[in-house]
Amino acid sequence: MQRASDASDAQKHMMGLSKARLFACMGIPDKKAHEDDIEIWSYKSGNNHRETSRVSNRYTGKKYFDDDEFIDSLTSSITLSDSVSESRYCTVQVVMTNGVVEAVHYNGPTGGLLTEDEQCAYAVRNCVKE
């Protein structure tokens, strides 16, 4: 819950930061984009959190011969289990106009139901402390 709160606070506190201060608190961006006086720096964030859940399906069916001739009333039952895995991460995009932070956007499966954007906190937490 604390990381989700930190990520939310960062979106407000980072507004108005200079490019130099942003570089000091977040480091080298993974990607940069530039158009006229607008610059966007992107950072990957997260702790590689992965949730795995098991899904089971049960199938039943009657046995038949090659000619689709019914053998008997025996039924076969098969239970198939599979695991579903979900990874959480965040891409932080910092938008600057004329070298000043104007917006901070979070993209990706950034957290759970009550912890939205928690994975983004890893990249922005040093900017909140300043």
Where does the pLDDT of residue 113 fall: very low under 50, low under 70, confident under 90, or very high at 90 and above? Answer: low
Q: What percent of the chain lies above the pLDDT cut of 90? A: 38
Q: What is the reported pTM?
A: 0.67
Contact (Cβ atoms closer than 8 angstroms) between residue 101 and residue 95:
yes
Geometric angle at alpha carbon 33, from 18 and 16, rounded to 5°: 20
**Domain limits of the chain?**
2-50+87-129
Q: What is the largest CA-CA distance in the chain?
A: 79
**Cα–Cα distance for residue pair 30/94, rounded to 1 Å:** 12
pLDDT of 90 = 87
pLDDT at position 4 over 60:
yes
**What fold does the segment set 2-50+87-129 form as a domain?**
Beta-lactamase Inhibitory Protein; Chain:B, domain 1 (3.30.1450)
